[in-house]
A = this chain, B = another copy of it.
Amino acid sequence: MRALTVRPGTAGTLAVQDVPDPEPGADDLLVEGLALGVCGTDKEIVRGDYGWAPDGPDRGDRLVLGHESLGRVVRAPADSGLAAGDLVAGVVRRPDPVPCGACAHGEWDMCRNGRYTERGIKQLDGYGSERWTVPAQYAVRVADHLGIAGVLTEPTSVVAKAWEQVDRVGERAWFEPRRALVTGAGPIGLLAAMIGVQRGLDVHVLDLVADGPKPDLVRDLGATYHHSSIEEIARTARPDVVLEATGVGKLVFDAMAATTPYGVVCLTGVSSTGRRQTIDAGGLNRDLVLENDVVVGSVNANLRHYRAAADALAAADLPWLERLITRRVPLEEAAAAFEAGPEDVKVVIELAGSGERAGRA
């Protein structure tokens, strides 16, 4: 079968190559790969800036790329609750082998020792192949009607975790948020806005662009699109919650200062180090203290968040979800998926042959 591979640490090594078919173990699902979402982490790996190949001989230091998965079950263990024909998405991270206390409790997204592994990123082959296997306990069912939009399960899991973090830190005392600001209208920001609207919040989204598909995607959710400044939104919309999805240093600190008292800022954007910035450290600290504000970082997701993501997608407007997928690239032309297009929101690589394209299955 064909797989999308890369040699982590070396730019220019992305390739579609023949690899042996996977052999499912007794507890594994055998899955026909349908689609693969491409995100910033994948681009970092393709540039040679991130990622680790699995150990083992004859690997040639190659990693099968891809962690935003969608597939159709070919064969499932009898007691797995899944059956041939079901749409599924695979979980990315696996617990560290020690395990740390968090991993021992199924919360590998909160791993303490960094020895976790990740499909398509860190020491485990990803989901970028025509067939793949996954332990049934690390797969979630995706609603049949979603079709290719089910490939949004993994990014939605990241957002479902972020919202859970907002709830859990918010609920340390009385908490009834009404207004949320999402900074950044990429896939994470848009999916965060979608869940915010599902929760009945008055959602505001801030991005730089005034054209392309993003403003309409936000408005069609019932949210408000802004391309002004965060200070302006802080004054007019007075958000109780800020979900930061850009990783831009200035926005991160502006977000901390933008909330109402008892504000919660959830950071989800992974930024580069070394972006130095001069801030009023005393004033920021004073605000955080006197307003009982919280800043919480959130990354990755565990099974609870994947299930919440599958539920959120199942409840969403399908045509809206399909509009997030702005470009589809066949596996043989996968390299094109890693070049940014001006109107891209989410680019997806289609893995199934022409006879079984996702969304038409």
Tell me whether B114 and A261 are in contact (CB under 8 A).
yes
Tell me whether B262 and A174 are in contact (CB under 8 A).
no
Tell me whether B285 and A249 are in contact (CB under 8 A).
yes
Chain A residues touching B, majority SS = mixed
User: How far, in whole Å, are A103 and B110 apart by their CA atoms in the complex?
Assistant: 33
State which of B102, B113, B171, B294 has its C-beta within 8 Å of the C-beta of A295. B294
Query: How many A residues are at the interface, by size bracket?
Result: 35 or more
Contacts A110-B292, A174-B101, A261-B112; A274 near B269 (Cβ below 8 A):
no
The residue in chain B whose Cβ has the minimal distance to the Cβ of A113 is B261
Interface membership of A69, Cβ < 8 A: no
Interface membership of A283, Cβ < 8 A: yes
When distances are taken between beta carbons in the complex, the residues of chain B under 8 Å from A173 are 102, 105, 107, 109-110
Tell me whether A278 and B277 are in contact (CB under 8 A).
yes
Interface membership of A348, Cβ < 8 A: no
Tell me whether A271 and B286 are in contact (CB under 8 A).
yes
Tell me whether A267 and B285 are in contact (CB under 8 A).
yes
A160-179, CB < 8 A from B = 164-165, 168-169, 171-174, 176
Interface membership of A291, Cβ < 8 A: yes
Tell me whether B262 and A290 are in contact (CB under 8 A).
no
User: How far, in whole Å, are A253 and B277 apart by their CA atoms in the complex?
Assistant: 13
User: How far, in whole Å, are A295 and B295 apart by their CA atoms in the complex?
Assistant: 5
- Could you list some 16 contacts between A and B, CB below 8 A? A102-B174, A112-B261, A114-B261, A169-B172, A247-B286, A267-B289, A271-B281, A271-B289, A274-B282, A274-B283, A275-B283, A276-B279, A288-B296, A289-B298, A292-B298, A293-B296
- A interface with B by C-beta (< 8 Å): 101-102, 104-105, 107, 109-114, 164-165, 168-169, 171-174, 176, 247, 249-250, 252-253, 260-262, 267-299
Which 9 pairs across A and B sit closest by C-beta, in order of nearness?
Answer: A249-B281, A275-B282, A288-B297, A168-B172, A273-B283, A277-B281, A271-B282, A289-B297, A105-B174
Apart from A110-B261, A112-B260: 18 A-B pairs, beta carbons within 8 A: A105-B174, A110-B292, A112-B261, A113-B261, A165-B172, A169-B294, A252-B284, A252-B285, A253-B281, A271-B281, A271-B283, A274-B280, A274-B282, A275-B280, A275-B282, A276-B278, A277-B281, A287-B297
